[in-house]
Structure 1
Amino acid sequence: MEQTTIRSNPLPIPNKVTQKVASGSPNIGQPMNSSYENQWMLSEEHRVPVRKQFEESKEDANKTKDIPKKPKDTPEAPRKSQKDMTKAERRLMQEQQRMEKQQRLNAGLPKSAKKAAEIEPKKPVVAATVNQDDKAKKTQKTQKIQENDVPWLLHLDTPKRPDSSTLDLHPAVLTLGLYFSEFKIVGSNARCVAMLETFSKASVLFTLEQLLYVSPSDATFSRHIQKHLDPQIAYLLSTRPMSLSMRECIRWLKKEMSDIVEEDPPLSDDDARHRLMDRIEHFIRERITMADRLIVQYGLQKIQDGEVILTYGKSSVVESLLLEAKKKGIEFKVIVVDSRPLFEGKHLIRRLVAAGIDCSYHLLSSVYVALRSVTKVLMGAHALLNNGAVYSRIGSAMVAMAASDKQIPVMICCETYKFVNRTQVDSFVMNEIGNPDALVNTKPTYNANHLDQPTSDVSVLTSWREQPNLRLLNLLYDVTPSKYITLVVTEVGLIPCTSAPVIWREYNEEFGKRE
């Protein structure tokens, strides 16, 4: 007899030959579950394709739509639980819930059906139409404003006019906010000193009549002063975004106020007030004034006779360094590169020329022409980031890259209080946007080379907001990568820019500011 080899099936897949079901089995005639696993386990005759099953569910849904609604008198059938529903029924229910939620959102109601049911009967029809008209007007205004905005920089703060109607703020803080918003106080050192001195006045003098600031009866001065200064800080932040160095000063100030609270035994109100004033004066003297003098002393080592130094914009510490070098009898020339719209270099070149320094003036567009005879580039900084990059006024990166292209050393003068624990590789993650109208020259230009053609009385960019495809961008800062910077002059010495995180860590350990 021939031996028949029986091949063992590794998977218990039922088929016509091997499937044997007992006649008394209760599974006979019962439908199987419609899960993918059970469908795959069925034979090919009983297997239903997924596409066909989806089409059947759509047909079932369409049939349910055609069924007429039951009258209100007839009792509704008990609602099935989701476990008892088929896949098609569950999908239909989810689709209905999604459509109802979308209708509620379009009507201005909350997502939740329960909250919408509470709000809907109370909401009058007239108010809805008024709200829709207000929304339409607001959207039209925002569309007009956003037409001239750069779409990929909408996350940055736009320039705002300070709200001077706030009466619970100190008058010195209101004045300082106006100065900041109108760019009457510029430069990181000047802004930080003005802010700290104003906070010192706000913590001591409460009104214009020189009355002492008195804390409430249920709180001491040391515990209430931070609550008193918080709205002052928020107001300055609303008038103009704070620079990174100002944020470091505020962080230090809050740490000092918390140290006063933790004093044991607790200080009296007068002692706490004098302690806070003394700490602010000490910070300005040690970290800004004395630091600038030390930077000048270290920077003099790098200035020799016959050098041509290029600087960009106006930096207070660079100005002090150049004036001190002239007093020491060093003979050198200075090239000041400037840019719109602030033209800070004009103020610097007036001071240098008055001191007897040989100077020349260039715009940023002609920086490569100015670099022909330059031996050293000297610039200031608003902050030194943790990755060694310099955060400074817009155009600094262009000057540094052009000097690096010509193999000219670039020196940055920066105080250590401007070192921040922040890493930034471009100018678009965080920046400040100035008023774009400041870039528009509304005065007509006179061209002497074309006398036969009369000049226009109106500038070309006067009606730039009416041009739908024209956008003006006025960024105030940029980031200079560390590879374009030769060294940084600080009050602790001449260091490479990559040593910034080490110095930041050392100062945090010394002053107890580590977070």
Structure 2
Amino acid sequence: MENEGAKKSIKERTKTKHKEKQPKEAKESSNKQVAELFSHLEIAKGANASLASRDIHPAVLVIGLQFADFKICGANARCIATLTAFKKVIQDYKTPEGTTLSRHLPTHLSPQISYLVNSRPMSVGMGNAIRHLKLEISTMDIDLADDDAKLLLCGKIDNFIRDRITVADRVIVSYGLQKIQDGDVILTYARSSVVQALLLEAHAKGIQFKVIIVDSRPRLEGKGLLRCLVDAGISCTYAFLHAVGFVLKDVSKVFLGAHAFMSNGALYSRVGTAMVAMMAKEKNIPVIVCCETYKFAEKVQLDSFVMNEQGNPDEMVNISTTSTPKAGLLDGWLHKPDLKLLNLLYDLTPSKYITTVITEVGMIPCTSVPVILREYKQV
């Protein structure tokens, strides 16, 4: 009996030692989940090429890693990269015996999509583009030869990129030029590819205006826009989000980009957008949003907590605005039991704070988003 008791105590001590050997950071990070209010939000698991299935195409592996590292960011850039990779998947695809391309190809695309979702949660535009591709596959003639079917699908992908993104952006820029006059002081937040194209085109047309770029940590996307506009010869002012109330006194118009538009007219965009729009509206400054219609979602969203994406909380630790890290008050946050970090990537702006939306189908109020969605369904 004494021997059995001794054995039990040895086992217990061994278990305790094993527990002690577990890295402290792993324990601490597991206890760092923020309040349950945010527990349902999507967190990027990261792309791991070594653990990926053999079914994952190399082109998808590459963009998955780039999505996870934010080397490709922005709704348009991510959507174009995804569709371009799927073109390569389709071109290299071989239909198994006993089935047809239109029946089996969606099954082959599923692990590719899952890998991208695990790399980083899918944007609304990407989801719409993938649904469009699946619809095109399902409506193809079942007797069509594989080579012809692949050629047809690749053409459909090219048409979607051209019509819904590339040409759409050009049309939005042409409409947006009507809203910029000489002497304007334009404020924009972070970096939107279509807003950037609009400002560059307005400058090329000889319109005299100034730009105030408002930016925020941790991504500091506005620095890239600032560099691009200054290189083009546009007069710019750069400020952080906490100074937006001060810089708004000189602003005549606010131009914003969009990640998505909900069917209730709410704007879903990078975090900080809602603050800029609400403060501008308070001062009776027009808030103009540039958004392609492929980013319109049928969902209804009333706040930023129902659907959002959590970024890496470690990104908030570095307080330096240069490439050299600089420790701040958040440094070592994992070892502080009462400190938890929440890095939300997007927020929601109610429709009442938005003056107009510029799309490729024209300038519309936010309330027309469901009308556009209905029209596209009927086509």
TM-score (norm 2): 0.90
Matched, 1:312 2:181: no
Amino acid at match of 2:81: A
% identical aligned pairs = 56
Distance in 1, matches of 2:375 and 2:217, equals 38
Q: Which residue of 2 aligns with 1:459?
A: 328
Q: Which residue of 2 aligns with 1:469?
A: 338
**CA contact under 8 A between 1:222 and 1:269: conserved in structure 2?**
no
Which residue, 141, 147, 160 being the options, matches 2:45? Answer: 160
**CA contact under 8 A between 1:444 and 1:459: conserved in structure 2?**
no
Q: Which residue of 1 aligns with 2:69?
A: 182
**CA contact under 8 A between 1:319 and 1:348: conserved in structure 2?**
yes
Matched, 1:234 2:114: yes
Amino acid at match of 2:128: E
- Structure 1 residue 290 displacement after superposition: 0.6
**CA contact under 8 A between 1:377 and 1:403: conserved in structure 2?**
yes
Deviations 1:30-72 (A, max 9, x none): xxxxxxxxxxxxxxxxxxxxxxxxxxxxxxxxxxxxxxxxxxx
Distance in 2, matches of 1:172 and 1:237, equals 15
Give 5+ residue unaligned stretches, structure 2.
Answer: 1-11
What SS does structure 2 have at the residue aligned with 1:330? Answer: coil
Summarize the alignment of residues 471-490 of structure 1 with structure 2, pairs less than 5 Å apart.
471-490=340-359
Distance in 2, matches of 1:300 and 1:258, equals 40
Matched, 1:201 2:88: yes
Amino acid at match of 1:363: F
Amino acid at match of 1:148: K
- Structure 1 residue 460 displacement after superposition: 2.8
Distance in 1, matches of 2:58 and 2:305, equals 34
**CA contact under 8 A between 2:48 and 2:65: conserved in structure 1?**
no
Q: Which moved more, 1:416-425 or 1:436-445?
A: 436-445
Compared with structure 1, are the counterparts of its residues 319 and 443 closer, same or farther at alpha carbon in structure 2 (3 Å cutoff)?
Answer: closer
**CA contact under 8 A between 2:257 and 2:290: conserved in structure 1?**
yes
- Structure 1 residue 370 displacement after superposition: 1.2
What SS does structure 2 have at the residue aligned with 1:371? Answer: helix
Which residue, 204, 209, 233 being the options, matches 1:327? Answer: 204
- Structure 1 residue 222 displacement after superposition: 2.6
Which residue, 360, 365, 374 being the options, matches 2:237? Answer: 360
Compared with structure 1, are the counterparts of its residues 458 and 248 closer, same or farther at alpha carbon in structure 2 (3 Å cutoff)?
Answer: closer
Summarize the alignment of residues 3-402 of structure 1 with structure 2, pairs less than 5 Å apart.
144-151=28-35, 152-165=37-50, 166=52, 167-205=54-92, 213-260=93-140, 263=141, 266-402=143-279
Matched, 1:409 2:286: yes
Q: Across the two proteins, how many residue pairs are aligned to each other?
A: 361
**CA contact under 8 A between 2:28 and 2:335: conserved in structure 1?**
no
Compared with structure 1, are the counterparts of its residues 369 and 462 closer, same or farther at alpha carbon in structure 2 (3 Å cutoff)?
Answer: same
Higher relative contact order, structure no. (Cα contacts within 8 Å, ≥ 6 residues apart): 2
Deviations 1:92-149 (A, max 9, x none): xxxxxxxxxxxxxxxxxxxxxxxxxxxxxxxxxxxxx9xx99xx899x9886334322
**CA contact under 8 A between 2:25 and 2:334: conserved in structure 1?**
no
Larger Rg: 1
Compared with structure 1, are the counterparts of its residues 442 and 385 closer, same or farther at alpha carbon in structure 2 (3 Å cutoff)?
Answer: closer
Compared with structure 1, are the counterparts of its residues 297 and 444 closer, same or farther at alpha carbon in structure 2 (3 Å cutoff)?
Answer: closer
What SS does structure 2 have at the residue aligned with 1:378? Answer: strand
Compared with structure 1, are the counterparts of its residues 432 and 300 closer, same or farther at alpha carbon in structure 2 (3 Å cutoff)?
Answer: same
Distance in 1, matches of 2:94 and 2:46, equals 30
Give 5+ residue unaligned stretches, structure 1.
Answer: 1-128, 206-212, 446-456, 511-515
- Structure 1 residue 163 displacement after superposition: 2.2
* Aligned-pair Cα RMSD in Å: 2.5
Distance in 1, matches of 2:296 and 2:320, equals 41
Q: Which protein is richer in helix relative to its size?
A: 2
Distance in 2, matches of 1:257 and 1:321, equals 35
